[in-house]
Amino acid sequence: MLPDQGSYEIVTVQLIDSEEKPAEAMFDTTVTMTSSNLNIATVDRTPTIRRGDYHATASVQTRYVNGGTTIAVSNPSLYPQQGLLTV
């Protein structure tokens, strides 16, 4: 991914079960995503994993700066997760 103010559909949010296997959404599940460094990239705030699906894809909008930002994902019914995104 380039620091070119582009939009990239590259972040996948997936449900997993207690055995770390993909889990089907029993109902539409909206998550909240945040970026720790808005000078590097921003993300879709609320992608939704539709009922019957296992994952959803969210877009990232880069800026003109190289570096890393932590993408955090949360939902009141799920364990929060985070990962490093490097531009």
CB 11 within 8 A of CB 42: no
- Looking at residue 77, what is its pLDDT? 92
Rounded-to-integer distance, Cα 28 and Cα 57, Å: 14
The answer to whether position 39 is within a domain reads yes
- Count how many domains the chain has: 1
| Strand order, beta sheet including 81-86 | 32-35, 68-74, 81-86
Percent of the chain at pLDDT above 70?
Answer: 100
Work out the percent of the chain whose per-residue pLDDT is above 90.
Answer: 97
Q: What is the pLDDT of residues 21-53, one digit of tens each?
A: 999 999 999 999 999 999 999 999 999 999 999
If you average pLDDT over every residue of the chain, what do you get? 95
CA distance 65 to 5: 9
> How far apart are the C-alpha atoms of 7 and 28, rounded to whole Å?
25
- Asked if residue 1 is part of any domain, the answer here is no
We report the CATH number of the domain holding residue 73 as 2.60.40.10
Whether residue 40 is contained in a domain is answered as yes
Q: Residue 2 falls within a domain, yes or no? A: no
| CA 40/CA 77 separation, integer angstroms | 29
Tell me, yes or no, if the pTM score tops 0.75.
yes
The reply to whether 78 falls in a domain is: yes
55 falls within a domain: yes
Q: Residue 2 pLDDT > 90, yes or no? A: no
Q: What is the pLDDT of residue 38?
A: 96
